[in-house]
Amino acid sequence: MRMVLVGAATVAITAVGMPTASSEPGIPGTEDASCESYGFGNTAMACDGPIREDGTWRRCAQWQPWYVPGPYGSYTPGGSKCWTVEGGADTGNPLLPQHHIDG
């Protein structure tokens, strides 16, 4: 019973301490965002804002925490990042879409 209470308290503390979503352009939930899931098991999402006059666009990626259980397990925290993509340029990550994501 004690383990259950400790586990429940840990979950509650973690949920309260979670960061809120950013208002960066391209993050899911904005009007002009077009998104596509990627990664292993769809654990990540990339969203593109509209193409600007100079051919660039704003891309934001979000990924979920990744936990590998076992004696040699590991934990990678989730997060998000936004940057500007130049039209026709390599995105620098083979897992990300190599094109503008259209809605």
**Each residue's pLDDT tens digit, 17-33:** 444 444 454 455 566 67
Reported as a single tens digit per residue, the pLDDT across 36-72 is 888 777 788 899 999 999 999 999 989 889 888 888 8
pLDDT at residue 11, rounded to an integer: 44
Dihedral angle over CA of 13, 16, 21, 23, nearest 10: -140
Residue 39: burial class (beta carbons within 10 Å; 0-12, 13-18, 19+): middle
Which residue shows structure tokens 């809120």? 20
Name the CA radius of gyration of the chain, rounded: 17
